[in-house]
Structure 1
């Protein structure tokens, strides 16, 4: 899984952190949590604000679908 896999990452983050409201997640925490995912294989420095924002928006959509 790479940084560009925002929807897949969002699903895994929602499963791993169900108590978290993704609207209030800091990018530093989001970055760390993505790197901690078992299937994540991309390099840490390849992330950026736009990629983290895309992941956060996908996570918000996942959370709102409940």
Structure 2
């Protein structure tokens, strides 16, 4: 997975962190959790606030 795979990342995060409400996550935590996902293979510095926000929104959508 790469940073642009927002839906795939959101699905993985919803399974890995099922007890977390993504509406209240800090972007620093979100960044670290994405980097720790199995199958994630991208550079840490390629993320941005816009990408993290897109991941967060996809995760929220995935919960609903």
Normalising to structure 1: TM-score of the pair?
0.96
Unaligned runs of 5+ in 2: none
* Residue 10 of structure 2 is aligned to residue 10 of structure 1: yes
**What stretches of structure 1 move > 3 A for 4+ residues in a row?**
none
Unaligned runs of 5+ in 1: none
Normalising to structure 2: TM-score of the pair?
0.99
1:24-63 equivalent positions in 2, closer than 5 A: 24-63=24-63
Deviation at 1:14, TM superposition (A): 0.2
1-side partners of 2:13 and 2:44: how far apart? 17
* Superposition CA RMSD, Å: 0.3
User: What is the count of residue pairs matched by the alignment?
Assistant: 64
